[in-house]
Amino acid sequence: MSVLRRIGVRIDPSEVRLITSEKDAYGWQRLPEAEPLFAKHLSDHSVGAYRKICEGVGRTFEAVVSPHHNHEEVRSIRKTPGNGTFTSRINSLTAEIDRLESELRGCNESLQAERDAPRAREFEDNF
């Protein structure tokens, strides 16, 4: 998916920078594992780093609208569920983890209550 469709900003390939400035309409959202790639300019990287960059696009980093960019210029882009960014996928998975953890806590509490029930009945029977 192009950057234009993803964030609403058209970036000429010759204008793509790993180290962005305030004048750039985009920035980078990245996972910690991709951080070293953004410590150097593209021209200063090795072939191995270029491979990591190619493999990491949309997986470990993505372009985002710069907080310094005039957001009124950004076109409204309608996203479909299959076109989500990795950030939206991370947010979705985090919400799912939270839901599952809550469900697991409830199951553990129910299980503990079932385990404690015979002891409580035994205690009541003795008094």
Query: Can you give the residue ranges of every domain in the chain?
Result: 1-78, 85-127
Residue 82, amino acid: G
Backbone angles phi and psi of 103, in degrees to 5 = -65, -40
The distance in angstroms from the start CA to the end CA of the chain is 71
**SS3 category, 57:** strand
Facing residues of 28 across strands? Answer: 63
Q: Which residues touch 59 (CB under 8 Å, ≥6 apart)?
A: 86
* Whole-number pLDDT of residue 119: 74
* Tens digit of pLDDT at every position of the chain (127 positions): 455 556 676 778 888 899 998 888 888 889 999 999 999 999 999 999 999 999 998 889 988 887 765 555 444 333 334 455 667 778 888 899 999 999 999 999 999 998 888 776 776 666 6
pTM over 0.85: no
* Whole-number pLDDT of residue 39: 94
